Structure 1
């Protein structure tokens, strides 16, 4: 890539990573259960971004862009998945708040803390990959912007940079988000506060999902 295109591409990657969206909110939610879950989710999102980059650079994204039905299917899947995550977070939290019965060491609803840490991390990782691959913001970036930055005669280094820059920028932002959430999480030792925050996250996810589905 030339310096004329490298600068704007890095700037675009940083802007996309910094703009808050569903991945930021999900990182916050998982990170409040522990920094491990937040970092696992951030890594999964970056894997999804790399997959989007491969699709864009191999021409698959052009086929998606040329097929309104296919892109609409991705958008609908993303909206439905956000609604699913919202309901899964909000319903247990609402029930816990209503009954006011919870152990002091309990984890936020929907995120299982260790004993079976590997299983919990696996669930968080799957959520991150699915969320990233059905994220309309990420999809639009790679479908609309990435092909315009491909040089006339791209080499392996160009492809690596085009794929890595958005992923690295997102990883840095979500990692910082995780560290911030861990600090906030120390203030949520009261299980009722944790459940109330989970209920808020669930409602926000449902609103985001409905917005995606209706636009």
Structure 2
């Protein structure tokens, strides 16, 4: 791969990362709790790129492009998962309104694991990311030499670009919360991000049947 091609691919990855979507709002939502949870969600979301690169490398992701039914099912499942995340985030904000829960340290550790899994599943269940890899990655593979290794390398590059952007987003969101330091503001932001996630999920699920 030539340097101009590599630069072009990195630019496309940056555009994908900067486009507002479930991953960005998910990272913002977890960053309101603490920095580790936000970065964990960012890492999980970014790692999903390698998952899609692997599927493209072995040819399974082509099913999404060839089968409208498979694409529709994945959109519905992904939408329902986003609705679930939004509802649980709203419930969490209401519980925190009544003060810290018992076993706060355990909850924080659990939050880091759950935020990572939430980010990873959000990306893995997002067919638009899969279609991005199907449409873009083959254009940067040598003709007649679409190796699995090179496909995975492109996936790692997208992972790095996404992680940089989402990591910065998490850092800024965490600093903003620490600066505001008002429970009422934090609660409002948590509920807003929860509502956005649920709305995105509902819209995704409905669009799958249109």
For the aligned pair, the TM-score class normalised by the smaller chain equals 0.7 to 0.9
Judge conservation of contact 1:31–1:39 (CA < 8 Å) in 2: yes
Tell me the CA shift for residue 184 of structure 1: 0.8
Q: Is 1:141 equivalent to 2:132 in the alignment?
A: yes
1:147-205 residue CA offsets vs partner (Å, 9 max, x unmatched): 23221224576334311111100000011011101111113433222222111112111
Matches within 5 A, 1:192-207: 192-207=184-199
Tell me the CA shift for residue 26 of structure 1: 0.9
- Secondary structure class of the residue paired with 2:179: coil
Q: Which residue of 1 aligns with 2:26?
A: 26
Tell me the CA shift for residue 59 of structure 1: 0.8
- In 1, Cα distance between equivalents of 2:164 and 2:142: 26
C-alpha RMSD of the superposition: 2.3
Judge conservation of contact 1:113–1:120 (CA < 8 Å) in 2: no
Judge conservation of contact 2:64–2:127 (CA < 8 Å) in 1: no
Judge conservation of contact 1:41–1:128 (CA < 8 Å) in 2: yes
Q: Which residue of 2 aligns with 1:73?
A: 73
1:34-78 residue CA offsets vs partner (Å, 9 max, x unmatched): 111111111111221100111012111112321111111111111
Matches within 5 A, 1:1-215: 1-93=1-93, 95=94, 102-103=98-99, 106=100, 114-152=105-143, 153-154=145-146, 158-215=150-207
- Secondary structure class of the residue paired with 2:105: coil
Judge conservation of contact 1:102–1:191 (CA < 8 Å) in 2: no
Judge conservation of contact 2:29–2:194 (CA < 8 Å) in 1: no
Query: TM (normalized to structure 1)?
Result: 0.85
Gaps of 5+ in 2: none
- In 1, Cα distance between equivalents of 2:10 and 2:173: 26
- In 1, Cα distance between equivalents of 2:67 and 2:149: 30
Query: TM (normalized to structure 2)?
Result: 0.87
Tell me the CA shift for residue 140 of structure 1: 2.3
